[in-house]
Amino acid sequence: MRKLRFRPCGNFKEYYEQELTIFETDFGRMWMWIGLFLLLFVVPFVGSPYTLYVLNNIAIAAIAAIGLNILIGYTGQISLGHGAFFGVGAYSAAILATKAGFPFWLSVILAGAVTAIVGMIFGIPSLRLKHLYLTIATLAGQFIIEYVLVHWESLTGGAEGIILPEPTIFGLNVSADRAFSWVVFFSFAVMCWMAVNLARSRYGRAFVAIRDNDRAAEGMGIPLFRYKLLSFGISSFYAGFAGGLWAYYTVSITPEPFTLFLSIEYIAMIIIGGLGSISGSVFGAVFIIMLNEILSQATQYIMNLGAFAGIALTVAPLREFVFGLAIVLFLIFEPRGLAEVWRIIRSSFRLWPFAY
């Protein structure tokens, strides 16, 4: 066995394979395995149901945010329809489970596939439209999907929504918070790994090329339209997969959560986390979900104080305000997001006691 590589004081690489690894050092790889171990085998046992509920929501949001980051951060196609795609995933899983009687795992994966197709259809305007104009076209997609979810009652159940069966895997019921967290954490880890792999393959490079300079990308043999659609497809697959998991987790779904505000929340996640970075999407999801939870806890706390109950009602819309503030502050002070903050912290540890 070779020696573990921590932080060599120079470049001692001998093979090109060594440059293709996700983690530059064994130290990083070791921490990844420790983190994965903690997430899969420690957290589900020691976490309270509430902690697990928050963590599950974070992991689901992170999967969807990774998808959006592939589309916006890597390919540079700004989409305002991600919340709706999340909803398409949730509804596809619910419909496949209730009407077609598919098992849990299959309906979640197929929900991703269905959403990928829907996402590609709404990505067709990217053939002609760029930048702001494409954003407005995807906004239209958001409203069309919202309308369909409410009004196609025979399929979606209209405003009443759908109640999903309990999820089972290999005959085991995984509907409880702890059991479901295994499913969610495992899918999260796999989806993260796949996204990182895509980013370092020819597809990731092609996406970045389309973002940076689409004219030159075409000259390098990249079929723009096909790759933009592919990006929409991959991004929507992530959204749909996350939506499917979320539908099983919340048991009953209605069209209400899948509004424009959800799309904006996802955009906030990737801006705060860091555009064009897979880890950034995860950081962003953690930040936004935690912010949501803290704000709702705070509102509840104030309401229970009695004397301040009147104020609480005025404080409730504070959520949107804090959201906007967080985005603005990040854009001013750290436009590259939490991923960059994390990088700076890491390298300052590495470089200590020198400044750089």
Partner 1 sequence: MKAFRGQPSIFASTQPDDRRAELEVRNLNLSFGGLQALYDVDLTVKTGELLAIIGPNGAGKTSLLNCITGYYHPQEGQIIFNGENITGHHPFEITKRGIGRTFQNIELFPGMSVIANMLLARHIHCEYNVGLASLFSPSVKKEEVRHRRVVEELIDFLEMQPIRKKPVGSLPYGLRKRVELGRALALEPKLLILDEPFAGMTLEEKEDMVRFLVELNEAWGQTMLLVEHDMSVVMSISRRIMVLDFGKKITEGSPELVQNHPEVIKAYLGDTGTI
Single out the segment in contact with partner 1 by CB under 8 A; choices: 124-132, 202-210, 306-314, 325-333.
202-210
Check if the beta carbon of residue 162 is closer than 8 Å to that of residue 91.
Answer: yes
Residue 226, judged by CB atoms within 10 A of its CB (0-12, 13-18, 19+), counts as exposed
* Residues 6+ positions from 174 with CB-CB distance below 8 Å: 104, 167, 168, 180, 182, 183
Other beta carbons less than 10 A from residue 188's beta carbon: 25
Spatial distance between the Cα atoms of 178 and 53, rounded to a whole number of angstroms: 9
- Residue of the chain from 153, 160, 166, 212 that contacts partner 1 (CB under 8 A): 212
Spatial distance between the Cα atoms of 116 and 273, rounded to a whole number of angstroms: 24
**347 is a site residue for partner 1 (CB under 8 A):** no
Q: In the range 305-324, which residues lie near partner 1 by CB under 8 A? A: none
Which element (helix H / strand E) includes 262?
helix 260-273
**203 is a site residue for partner 1 (CB under 8 A):** yes
Which of 176, 220 has the CB closer to partner 1? 220
Single out the segment in contact with partner 1 by CB under 8 A; choices: 80-88, 150-158, 176-184, 201-209.
201-209
Single out the segment in contact with partner 1 by CB under 8 A; choices: 54-62, 169-177, 205-213, 320-328.
205-213
Which of 219, 317 has the CB closer to partner 1? 219
Spatial distance between the Cα atoms of 30 and 53, rounded to a whole number of angstroms: 27
Which element (helix H / strand E) includes 252?
strand 252-253
Binding mask 217-246 for partner 1 (x = CB under 8 A): xxxxxxxx-----x---x------------
Single out the segment in contact with partner 1 by CB under 8 A; choices: 14-22, 60-68, 144-152, 240-248.
14-22
Q: Is 253 helix (H, G, I), strand (E, B) or coil?
A: strand
**278 is a site residue for partner 1 (CB under 8 A):** no
- Residue of the chain from 1, 2, 14, 16 that contacts partner 1 (CB under 8 A): 16
- The least CB distance from residue 209 to partner 1, in Å, is 5
Single out the segment in contact with partner 1 by CB under 8 A; choices: 13-21, 172-180, 306-314, 344-352.
13-21
Please write down the HEC assignment for all residues of 127-175: HCCCHHHHHHHHHHHHHHHHHHHHHCHHHHCHHHCEECCCCEECCEECC
List of residues contacting partner 1 (CB under 8 A)? 15-17, 19-20, 194-195, 197-198, 200-203, 205-206, 208-209, 212-213, 215-224, 230, 234
